[in-house]
């Protein structure tokens, strides 16, 4: 693996530059044209073959190098977040007022995974490693779209394992489970009438929305404690003296495991149908997106963690610490401990400003109260997620503080550390058949050997909208 890691060392400037370019593009989900082109272009120059537009998304692609088995995939993301434009300074200053920014560090995520893929390519090219390495260009993670539609298109099916990472406050490996989720809009259609003069002539679509919500609120008591059902009324009619002919409510439904959600979701559909029957308003179900819970593979996760220990945590400069200390001043009182607590990170980490070590597993078997489309990949192939300290300790995800760190030395040094660790882990997995065999045995045990079934309705083969 020497040549591969040497390549990363030689290209540090170039890789950091690429991550900065994507940070500047700050393109939101499904609009990442320039970011996807920059990553795909880089890989093409390195000799990867590129398949564009996978999953019916113009900004999704698969880059492949090598031949035959084993096939190892690195997952990359590059979408930004609306409203999080921020300069690389430790106080709130936007680049573009109200603009988008990389408040989840996906500019680093894409380039870090790309660097690992190219490092392994150097090994394959030099005849020191056999098999195929892939980089998956996954758009629109923030809206849980990219990998779900790519998975439905079958692009992960022949993988032997997948490795990805996420910018975070700790150097380590995520073992926690994210939640399975469905996002669905329920639209009701009735008939307008004068609300005072002829209410008997009207059919209120808003009544149907309200009755549906009442039904779901009663259902709450009879679903598992860990389920989450939340909604917003996106259309409640125009004005009180017109019976609303159209109304819509948008639900997120979540549970720790996909099979639990599959049990709850049909009951919600029945409630929606009931509201339609009660009011006479026609119901239209607009499925937006759904995803699996994350199933971490212990064997692959251990390989990634061991590799990270060998390649080492990022080495931050004096300047980085000065920046971090100053940025910390912007945290709200109690923020550090609350961010760490919500992410199952031991409270003693709160005494640090930047994490400079590699943490042991700290959240294995625990639940992380969010959702990610890496979940779908993890039910198709053994998967692990590294995290690297690209952010100042206590930074909330999706914040301007995260955007700031993602565009400067702190984020970039952690990205390079992540790339080296993932490259070594990939090398280990591809060169030691026994590791992949054990990873697959564990995977079969955890999935019960059942094939992945897309959470999307059968006829849905491309994203309907941006959330
Ligand atoms: Zn993210």
Q: What digits encode the pLDDT tens for the residues 229-266?
A: 999 999 999 999 999 999 999 999 999 999 999 999 99
**If you measure from the C-alpha of residue 406 to the centroid of ligand 1, how many angstroms do you get, rounded to a whole number?**
12
Which residues are 135's β-sheet partners?
63, 74
**If you measure from the C-alpha of residue 165 to the centroid of ligand 1, how many angstroms do you get, rounded to a whole number?**
10
**If you measure from the C-alpha of residue 420 to the centroid of ligand 1, how many angstroms do you get, rounded to a whole number?**
20
**If you measure from the C-alpha of residue 81 to the centroid of ligand 1, how many angstroms do you get, rounded to a whole number?**
9
- Looking up tokens 């059968």 gives 458
Query: What confidence score (pLDDT) does residue 368 get?
Result: 85
**If you measure from the C-alpha of residue 294 to the centroid of ligand 1, how many angstroms do you get, rounded to a whole number?**
14
Crossing angle (nearest 10°) for helices 33-45 and 106-125: 10
The interface predicted TM-score (ipTM) is 0.97
**If you measure from the C-alpha of residue 105 to the centroid of ligand 1, how many angstroms do you get, rounded to a whole number?**
7
Which CATH number does the domain 2-178+294-447 belong to among 3.40.630.10, 3.30.1330.40, 3.50.50.60, 1.10.510.10? Answer: 3.40.630.10
Q: What are the structure tokens assigned to 288, written together?
A: 């937006």
CATH class of domain segment(s) 180-290: alpha beta
Percent share of the chain, pLDDT over 90: 97
The most distant pair of C-alpha atoms in the chain lies apart, rounded to whole Å, by 83
Q: Whole-angstrom distance between the N-terminal and C-terminal Cα of the chain? A: 42
Whether 188 contacts 281, CB under 8 Å: yes
Q: What are the structure tokens assigned to 409, written together?
A: 């030395």
Query: What confidence score (pLDDT) does residue 465 get?
Result: 62
**If you measure from the C-alpha of residue 371 to the centroid of ligand 1, how many angstroms do you get, rounded to a whole number?**
10
Domain boundaries, the chain: 2-178+294-447, 180-290
**If you measure from the C-alpha of residue 241 to the centroid of ligand 1, how many angstroms do you get, rounded to a whole number?**
44
> Residues 343-381: pLDDT tens digits?
999 999 999 999 999 999 999 999 888 899 999 999 999
Q: What average pLDDT does the segment 391-400 reach?
A: 96
Q: Is the pLDDT of residue 466 over 80?
A: no
- State which residues have CB under 5 angstroms from ligand 1, the bound ion: 104
> Residues 289-342: pLDDT tens digits?
999 999 999 999 999 999 999 999 999 999 999 999 999 999 999 999 999 999
């Amino acid at each position: 693996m020497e040549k591969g890691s040497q390549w990363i060392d030689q290209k540090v400037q170039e890789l950091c530059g690429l991550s900065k370019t994507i940070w500047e593009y700050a393109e939101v989900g499904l609009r990442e044209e320039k970011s996807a082109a920059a990553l795909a272009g880089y890989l093409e120059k390195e000799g990867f073959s590129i398949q564009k537009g996978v999953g019916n998304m113009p900004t999704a692609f698969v880059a492949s190098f090598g031949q035959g088995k084993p096939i190892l995939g690195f997952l990359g993301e590059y979408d930004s977040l609306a409203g999080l434009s921020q300069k690389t300074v430790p106080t709130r200053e936007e680049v573009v007022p109200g603009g988008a920014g990389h408040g989840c560090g996906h500019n680093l995520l894409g380039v870090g995974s790309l660097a690992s893929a190219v490092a392994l390519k150097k090994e394959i090219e030099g005849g020191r490693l056999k098999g195929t390495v892939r980089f998956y260009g996954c758009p629109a993670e923030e809206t849980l779209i990219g990998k779900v539609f790519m998975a439905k298109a079958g692009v992960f099916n022949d993988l032997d394992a997948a490795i990805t990472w996420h910018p975070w406050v700790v150097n380590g490996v995520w073992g926690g489970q994210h939640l399975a989720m469905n996002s669905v809009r329920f639209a009701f259609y009735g008939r307008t009438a004068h609300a005072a003069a002829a209410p008997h002539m009207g059919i209120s679509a808003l009544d149907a929305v309200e009755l549906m919500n009442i039904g779901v609120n009663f259902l709450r008591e009879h679903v598992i404690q860990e389920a989450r059902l939340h909604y917003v009324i996106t259309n409640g009619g125009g004005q009180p003296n017109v019976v609303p002919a159209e109304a819509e409510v948008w639900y997120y439904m979540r549970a720790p495991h996909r099979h639990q959600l599959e049990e709850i979701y049909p009951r919600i559909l029945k409630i929606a149908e009931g509201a339609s029957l009660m009011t006479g308003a026609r119901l239209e179900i607009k499925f937006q997106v759904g995803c699996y819970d994350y199933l971490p593979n212990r064997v692959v996760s251990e390989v990634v963690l061991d590799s990270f220990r060998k390649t080492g945590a990022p080495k931050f400069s004096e300047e980085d610490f000065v920046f971090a200390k100053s940025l910390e001043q912007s945290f709200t009182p109690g923020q550090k401990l609350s961010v760490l607590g919500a992410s199952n990170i031991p409270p003693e980490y709160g005494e640090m400003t930047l994490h400079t070590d590699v943490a042991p597993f700290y959240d294995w078997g625990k639940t992380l109260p969010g959702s990610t489309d890496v979940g779908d990949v993890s039910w198709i192939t053994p998967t692990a997620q590294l995290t690297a300290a690209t952010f100042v300790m206590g930074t909330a995800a999706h914040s301007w503080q995260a955007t700031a760190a993602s565009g400067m030395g702190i984020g970039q040094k952690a990205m390079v550390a992540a790339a080296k660790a993932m490259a070594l882990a990939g090398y280990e997995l591809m060169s030691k058949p026994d590791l992949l065999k054990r990873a697959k045995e564990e995977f079969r045990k955890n999935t019960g050997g059942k094939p992945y079934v897309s959470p999307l309705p059968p006829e849905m083969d491309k994203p309907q909208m941006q959330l």
